[in-house]
Structures are given as C-alpha cells and as structure tokens.
C-alpha cells in the first residue's frame, strides 16, 4: 500500500492511500480519516460510498464529515466509485463505466474483469484497512450519497451482522424501476432482471429488511428525485415495519450543500449504534 497524502485534520489524520486491488484487477485509491483516538487503539468505522462521477475525494473534501467523526472518535472510509486505469472499460456517458460502478460485481463484457465494486467494498477493502490501520471491524456502519446510498443500503441488507446501522443521503432507491439503474444493471449484470434483485434497495427492504436502525434523508427539491424513487423505499420500509427514519427535507437539492447540512445527524446516528 502506498501513501498518497496525509494531512492533519480535526486532531486526526486525513489520509489517501493506493493499492493493487485483487477484486478490481487494477490500482485503487481510497481516503481514510482516522480520529486522534486511533493512536491509542482500534476505532469504529463509518463507510461513506459516493455517487456518480465521484472519486474517493469528493466527500472527503466537501461533506464536512471529519468534524463530526472527530467528535465521536470514528474513522471514515471513502472508497472510489469504480475501477480505474487505462485498460479499464469506460463509456462516454457520465453514468456508466468509470465513476459509475454501482456497487455490483459485473458479469457482462466489457465490464466483468474490473467492475467488481461489491467485492471491493464488502470484502477486499475492509480486510485491507483492518490489517493496516487501527480500525475495529467489529464496529462498522455505512452511509452514502445517491448511487452510494444505493450501495450502502444494498450492502447493509445483504450482509447481516456486518454493519450496525445504515443511512443514506438521497439514495437511488429503486434502480430496477428508473433510468438510474436499469441502464447500468443491464450493462453490468445482463438483461435477466433476476440477477438485479439483490441490488434494488426497495425490493431487498421488502423481502429481508435490515437488522438495525435506518436513516434516510432526501431533499424535496432534489432535481433527480424522479430517478431516486424514494417513494418505493418508503413504502417498503412501512410494509416491512423496518426500524427506520425517512426524512423529506424541505427545499434541499441533490448537492453536497444538502449532504453537509445533515452530516452531523448521520454521524451522530451511526455513533449511537457503534458505541452501543
């Protein structure tokens, strides 16, 4: 593993690291914030999965999460959103290929050899940070924005016992039913929708739910809200009787100004679960 940068930040360290990824068969870069408590021993971990077009860097510089993670003594992991490199397949569209991995393991050409963001986030990267940094893998939670909210919800529900809590900012809630989803799941997983099921948060919520608390924020003025379809998740949560808080925030859009506005709430929500 290579250290790209380390900056003092809120008493801790905001690092950026790169490594050869087995899951994605390419070099990958991620951000990791360690609070000062990590000098004394392993700290709980909150994963932040980013949205379309993002790298590891966007949330790390714009979400304001370190302030609250430092207060709570929690580490933050900021993975990239897709495999990277010249030999990795891409598409001209902003919402397919690089920057748009959708947190799935692709089975279809030309995506299959590298686009394995599910395994990367669920298996490879946790093992790596657990080996090299003072993080406690027994205390993990997960959040994300937009495509990353989709990733957070689907990973959390698919891996019972892994994450103590899950939250999302303006998540893609029903990719099987919207243009942010159908196109990508078809490309990465093929036309047979049976293979998509585990990647649709609303469907998984209806079928299995999550064994812990759920917090979701969506802005009422989100310019992409018709693509996110929060109504399908809201319905599924209610049908499931899932322990959850769904909030429609008046006037907020899809930007990081929205994300940062509610980051304190989300970090506090996860801290409560992680410290229990």
Smallest gap, in angstroms, from Cβ of residue 201 to a second copy? Answer: 24
Q: In the complex with a second copy, which residue's Cβ is closer, 120 or 269?
A: 269
- Could you say which of 21, 50, 146, 202 is catalytic? 146
Smallest gap, in angstroms, from Cβ of residue 92 to a second copy? Answer: 26
Q: In the complex with a second copy, which residue's Cβ is closer, 67 or 246?
A: 67
Helix (H, G, I), strand (E, B) or coil at 72: helix
Residue numbers at the binding site for a second copy (CB under 8 A): 7-11, 14, 61-62, 64, 66-67, 219, 221, 249-253, 255-258, 260-261, 264
Which pair of tokens denotes residue 31? 């951000």
Smallest gap, in angstroms, from Cβ of residue 155 to a second copy? Answer: 27
Smallest gap, in angstroms, from Cβ of residue 253 to a second copy? Answer: 6
Q: Please state, in angstroms and rounded to a whole number, the distance separating the CA atoms of residues 78 and 45.
A: 11
Over the Cα atoms of the chain, what is R_g? 17
Which pair of tokens denotes residue 261? 């506005």
222 catalytic? Reply is: yes
Q: In the complex with a second copy, which residue's Cβ is closer, 161 or 251?
A: 251
List beta partners, residue 33.
14, 76
Which pair of tokens denotes residue 14? 């905001």
254 catalytic? Reply is: yes
Block residue for tokens 């990508």: 184
132 catalytic? Reply is: no
Q: In the complex with a second copy, which residue's Cβ is closer, 208 or 249?
A: 249
Containing 87, the helix (H) or strand (E) segment is none
Please report, for residues 52, 186, 199, 208, 256, the alpha-carbon distance to residue 219 in angstroms, rounded to integers and kept in the order given: 17, 28, 23, 26, 11
Contact 57, 32 (CB under 8 A): no
- Could you say which of 165, 167, 222, 266 is catalytic? 222
List beta partners, residue 167.
215
As annotated, the active-site residues are 146, 222, 254
């Amino acid at each position: 593993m290579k250290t790209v940068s380390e900056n003092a930040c809120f008493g801790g360290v905001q690092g950026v690291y790169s490594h050869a990824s087995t899951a994605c068969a390419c070099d990958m870069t991620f951000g990791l914030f360690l609070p000062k408590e990590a000098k004394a021993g392993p700290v709980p971990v909150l994963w932040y999965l980013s949205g379309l077009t993002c790298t590891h860097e966007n949330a790390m510089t714009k979400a304001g999460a370190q302030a609250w993670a430092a207060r709570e003594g929690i580490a933050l992991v900021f993975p990239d959103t897709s495999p990277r490199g010249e030999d990795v397949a891409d598409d001209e569209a902003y919402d397919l290929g690089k920057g748009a991995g959708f947190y799935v393991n692709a089975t279809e050409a030309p995506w299959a050899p590298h686009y394995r963001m599910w395994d990367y986030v669920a298996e490879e990267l946790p093992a790596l940070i657990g080996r090299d940094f003072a993080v406690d893998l027994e205390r993990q939670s997960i959040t994300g924005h937009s495509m990353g909210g989709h990733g957070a919800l689907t990973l959390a529900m698919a891996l019972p016992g892994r994450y103590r809590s899950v939250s999302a900012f303006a998540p893609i809630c029903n990719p099987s039913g919207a243009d942010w989803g159908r196109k990508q799941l078809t490309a990465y997983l093929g036309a047979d929708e049976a293979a998509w099921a585990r990647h649709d948060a609303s469907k998984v919520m209806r079928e299995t739910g999550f064994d812990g608390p759920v917090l979701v924020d969506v802005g009422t003025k989100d310019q992409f809200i018709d693509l996110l379809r929060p109504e399908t998740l809201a319905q599924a949560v209610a049908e499931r009787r899932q322990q959850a808080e769904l909030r429609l925030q008046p006037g907020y859009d899809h930007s990081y100004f929205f994300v940062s506005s509610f980051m304190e709430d989300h970090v506090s929500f996860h801290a409560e679960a992680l410290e229990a």
